[in-house]
Amino acid sequence: MSAIDRGIDPAGTVAVIGTGTMGQGIAQVALVAGHPVRLYDAAPGRAAQAVDGIAARLDRLVDKGRLEPAARDAALGRLTPVAGLAGLADAELAIEAILEDLGAKQQLFTALESVVSDSCLLATNTSSLSVTAVAGALRRPGRLLGLHFFNPAPLLPLVEVVRGFATEEAAADRAYATVAAWGKTPVRCADTPGFIVNRIARPFYAEALRVHEEGAADPATIDAVLRECGGFAMGPFELTDLIGQDVNEAVTRSVWEAMYHDPKFTPSLAQRRLVDAGLHGRKSGRGWYDYAEGAARPEPHTAEPCPPPGKVAVHAGPGPAGELPRLIEEAGITVTREDPAADAPPGGYIALPDGTRLTLTDGSPATTGSPAPGIRFDLALDYRTATRIALAPADTVSPEALASAIGLFQALGKKVSVIQDVPGMIVARTVAMLADFAMDAAARRVASPQDIDTAMRLGVNYPRGPLRWADDLGARWVRDALLGLHQAYPTGRYAPSQPLMRRAAAEEKLL
């Protein structure tokens, strides 16, 4: 049996320190996997309360038919609250889920190290602190690593197995095998700010906030476009309301500070103001949306019905929107195919009867980014199945031309949201940034490409891994979209990474 196949003993004791929501969830996972579990919390009586909370969780699983009553009873028989760290002496794995404070975690593990055996694995569930720094205070830092579960731990499959600078390879292998035996999907990653998910996911929130701050669209519309056009399960405003604005902003700020204020990770002033106002989302009753009983949910901006054009001219080129001409023909609109003009973008364009050009956003604004200003449309995960599309007209586009473009996409069965002429629009700038962040992380050996895509699909439920998305779009498209954004915002935030630039150059050589 190889080292990677050997986790802790299936009957070995697991200690969980910290009995909040995450601690209880981790304890439940270990219990259901068959381990005896010891619970400890520094607050008197909390561990005993947690036993009651876990029992209630298991009861709900029984009621739903997901757990046999006998299995519940056996699990509860293996669950023991303890009054002090000494009660954790027989643990083979100790996982902490206490407050996100480096000093507190170091103090805990320093005390724990003198209690448990030298063979006991020590794991922190931190989502934002350095695993290396947590281990730095220990006598034997090599046995400490990160096991970052996602909330709710019993339901979400992903666990980031984080190897600190001093973490021994055997310890990381043993932890990986253990969580795999628990039915989870572990991914390996280096100890870098945000690990995989919280590092790479930052643009999903940041770009939506930036679009909103610039007045291009309201939160409900941005959420709808990312869901119904981009294929994401939730929009960033509703998701941060669910996570907690204070929690999400704190993670963003932590990663930004750990990255020495890299502009790519800059936090949002709008979100900071929301946190300062105590509007933390669902848990406070209001965030970007109002969750009071009877409060109406704002509707996304959706254009009124407009008549479609009778015909369009497609000046086709390769690119992510290549399926649109077929969809237009299937909708009964006459399509003529013509060679692109000399000033056409690489992906070509669709010409309305009055000559107005419809082009997939390339990162530049419609008003100033092309020799022939027209109307930009946003990137879609799949133009056939997307139920909404965003349009951004140049300032010079006539109301009649905009109505014709709206009617064209409505004829394809899409709802249409018209937003202000903002560079990169909504989905395109978000996906381009996610893809670039993922390529940069892979090049820096934060994690393997496969583990990066797995983490982003399972950890934040993305419809496609960002590296797979980059493959489908082409590195040149991602690079060019970011270069357009970088020209519009020359702050360094959108400058393409060197791995992306190299990959795009390699693609060009193959043409």
Write down the catalytic residue from 125, 127, 130, 364. 127
Residue 148 designated active-site: yes
What is d(CA 465, CA 460) in angstroms, rounded to the nearest whole number?
10
User: How far is residue 479 from each of residues 299, 342, 422, 462, 503, measured CA to CA in Å?
Assistant: 34, 21, 18, 21, 9
Q: Which of 125, 128, 198, 370 is catalytic?
A: 198
The CA distances from residue 50 to 18, 135, 394, in Å, are 9, 27, 58
Active-site residue, selected from the candidate residues 35, 130, 148, 228: 148
Q: Which residues contact 251 (CB under 8 A, 6 or more apart)?
A: 127, 128, 194, 198
**How many whole angstroms separate alpha carbon 90 and alpha carbon 320?**
57
Nearest alpha carbon to residue 262 among 415, 73, 436: 436
In 3D space, the residue among 454, 446, 462, 392 whose CA is nearest the CA of residue 217 turns out to be 392
As a three-state string, the secondary structure of 156-190 is: CCEEEEEECCCCCHHHHHHHHHHHHHCCCEEEEEE
Out of 92, 113, 160, 228, which one is annotated catalytic? 160
The answer to whether the CB of 444 falls within 8 A of the CB of 342 is no
Q: Is 198 a catalytic residue?
A: yes
Is 160 noted as a catalytic residue in this protein? yes
d(CA 275, CA 281): 9
Active site residues: 127, 148, 160, 198
